[in-house]
Amino acid sequence: MEYDKFIGKYVGRTELRVDAYGKVTGRAKYSADLAPKDSYVAKVLHSTIGNGEVVSIDIEEAKKVDGVVGVFTCFDVPDIEFPTAGHPYSLDPGHRDLCDRHLLNKRVRYYGDDIAAVVALDEVAATKALKKIKVEYKEYPVFTTAREGLDKNATPLHPNLFKDNVIAHIDFKTDKDFDYDKAMEEAKKQYGAENLVEIVKNVKTPLISHSHLELPVSYAYVDTNGKITVVASTQIPHIVRRCVAHALGVPMGKVRIIKPYIGGGFGNKQDALYEPLNAWLTTKVNGHPVLLEISREETIVSTRTRHRMDADIKGVCTKDGKLLFRKITNYVANGGYASHGNSITAKCAGIFKNLYKNPMGCSSEAYTVYTNSPTSGAMRAYGVPQSVSFAETLADDLCFKAGLDPYKFRMDNIVEEGFKDGGNVFYTYGLKDAMKIGHDHIKWEEKREKYKNQTGNIRRGVGMCCFMYQTAVWPISLEVSGVRMILNQDGSMQLQIGATEIGQGADTVFSQIAAETTGITFDKVYIMSTQDTDLTPYDSGAYGSRQSYVCGNAIHKCGQIFKKNILEYAIHMKPEYKVEDLDVDNNNVIIKKSGEVILTMAELATNAIYEKDGLNNHIHAEASIETTTNTFASGCCFVDIEIDMKLGLITIKDIINVHDSGTILNPALAIAQVHGGMSMSLGYAMSEELLVDEKTGRVLNDNWLDYKIPTAMDSPDFHVEFVNMKDPTGGYGNKALGEPPAVPPAVAVRNAVLNATGCMMNEFPMTSQRLVAEFKKQGLI
CB of 550 to other proteins, least distance (A): 21
Binding flag, residue 433, other proteins (CB under 8 A): no
646 is a site residue for other proteins (CB under 8 A): yes
Question: Does residue 320 belong to the site contacting other proteins (CB under 8 A)?
Answer: no
User: From residue 346, how far is each of 104, 353, 367 by CA, in Å?
Assistant: 29, 11, 10
Q: For residue 413, what are the CA distances in angstroms to 47, 182, 322, 450, 552?
A: 50, 21, 7, 26, 34
Among 58, 66, 122, 490, the residue binding other proteins under the rule CB under 8 A is 122
CB of 278 to other proteins, least distance (A): 17
Q: Which stretch binds other proteins (CB under 8 A): 12-20, 385-393, 561-569, 570-578?
A: 12-20
- Note whether 675 binds other proteins by CB under 8 A: yes
Sole window of 162-170, 204-212, 467-475, 586-594 interacting with other proteins (rule: CB under 8 A): 204-212
Site membership for other proteins, residue 691 (CB under 8 A) = yes
What minimum distance in Å lies between the beta carbon of 448 and other proteins?
A: 25
In the region spanning residues 413 to 432, those forming contacts with other proteins, defined by CB under 8 A, are none
CB 316, CB 63: distance < 8 Å: no
Q: Which of 212, 326, 327, 556 binds other proteins (CB under 8 A)?
A: 212
* Closer residue to other proteins, CB minimum distance, 96 or 646: 646
Q: Is 494 exposed, middle or buried (0-12, 13-18, 19+ CB in 10 A)?
A: middle
Q: Does 61 bind other proteins (CB under 8 A)?
A: no
In angstroms, the CA 102 to CA 80 distance is 6
CB within 8 Å of 459: residues ≥ 6 apart: 451, 642, 643, 645, 756, 757
Q: Give least dist CB 474 to other proteins, A.
A: 27
Among the listed residues 645, 646, 636, the one whose alpha carbon sits nearest the alpha carbon of residue 678 = 636
Identify the residue among 680, 753, 756, 759 touching other proteins (CB under 8 A): 680
Cα separation, 691 vs 709, in Å, equals 14
Q: Which is nearer to other proteins, 291 or 351 (CB)?
A: 291
Question: Does 128 participate in binding other proteins (rule CB under 8 A)?
Answer: yes
For residue 356, with 0-12 CB atoms within 10 Å meaning exposed, 13-18 middle and 19 or more buried, which class applies? Answer: buried
CB 259 within 8 A of CB 237: yes
Report the C-alpha gap between 639 and 719 in whole angstroms: 10
Q: Which of 71, 215, 513, 590 binds other proteins (CB under 8 A)?
A: 215
Regarding 40 and contact with other proteins (CB under 8 A), the answer is no
> Rule CB under 8 A: is residue 667 a binding residue for other proteins?
yes
* Closer CB to other proteins, 560 or 715, in the complex: 715
Quick one: 29 or 564, whose CB is closer to other proteins? Answer: 29
* Distance of alpha carbon 603 from alpha carbon 589, whole angstroms: 10
Q: Is 3 in the site for other proteins (CB under 8 A)?
A: no
261 versus 370: smaller Cβ distance to other proteins: 261
Q: Which is nearer to other proteins, 24 or 597 (CB)?
A: 24
Q: Could you tell me where the DSSP H helices lie in 158-230?
A: 180-191
Q: Cβ closer to other proteins: 478 or 691?
A: 691
DSSP class of 618:
-
Q: Is 778 in the site for other proteins (CB under 8 A)?
A: no
Binding mask 521-540 for other proteins (x = CB under 8 A): --x-----------------
Identify the residue among 764, 767, 774, 780 touching other proteins (CB under 8 A): 767
Q: Is residue 641 a contact point for other proteins (CB under 8 A)? A: no
Write down the least CB distance from residue 152 to other proteins, Å: 30
Per-residue HEC secondary structure of 169-186 comes to: EEEEECCCCCCHHHHHHH
Instruction: Select the span of 118-126, 188-196, 402-410, 568-576 touching other proteins (CB under 8 A).
Output: 118-126
Sheet with 228-232, strands from edge to edge, namely 68-73, 114-120, 40-46, 290-292, 218-222, 228-232, 255-259, 531-532
At 655, which amino acid appears? I
Q: Does residue number 144 form part of the binding site for other proteins (CB under 8 A)?
A: no
Beta carbons of 310 and 62 less than 8 angstroms apart: no
Should residue 29 be labelled a site residue for other proteins when binding is judged by CB under 8 A? Answer: yes
Question: Is 672 one of the binding residues for other proteins (CB under 8 A)?
Answer: yes
Beta pairing partners, 420: 425
Site for other proteins in 449-508 (CB under 8 A): 502-505
Residue 684's φ and ψ, nearest 5 degrees, are -60, -35
Stretch that binds other proteins, among 22-30, 97-105, 478-486, 597-605 (CB under 8 A): 22-30
Other C-beta atoms within 10 Å of 200: how many? 12
CA–CA distance, 341 with 253 (Å, rounded to integer): 27
Beta-carbon-side half-sphere exposure of residue 560 (alpha carbons within 13 Å):
9
Residue 779 has a CB neighbour count (10 Å cut-off) of 6
What part of residues 702-731 is at the interface with other proteins (CB under 8 A)? 703-706, 708-715, 717-721
Residue 59, interface with other proteins (CB under 8 A)? no
773 binds other proteins (CB under 8 A): yes
Which residue, 23 or 450, has its beta carbon nearer to other proteins? 23
Binding test (CB under 8 A) with other proteins, winner from 560, 606, 696, 768: 768
CB of 339 to other proteins, least distance (A): 20
**Taking CB under 8 A as the criterion, which residues in 290-309 touch other proteins?**
293, 295-296
Residue 264 interacts with other proteins (CB under 8 A)? yes
Q: What is the largest CA-CA distance in the chain?
A: 89
Tell the smallest beta-carbon distance from residue 144 to other proteins (Å): 14
> CA angle, corner 564, sides to 561 and 570, nearest 5?
150
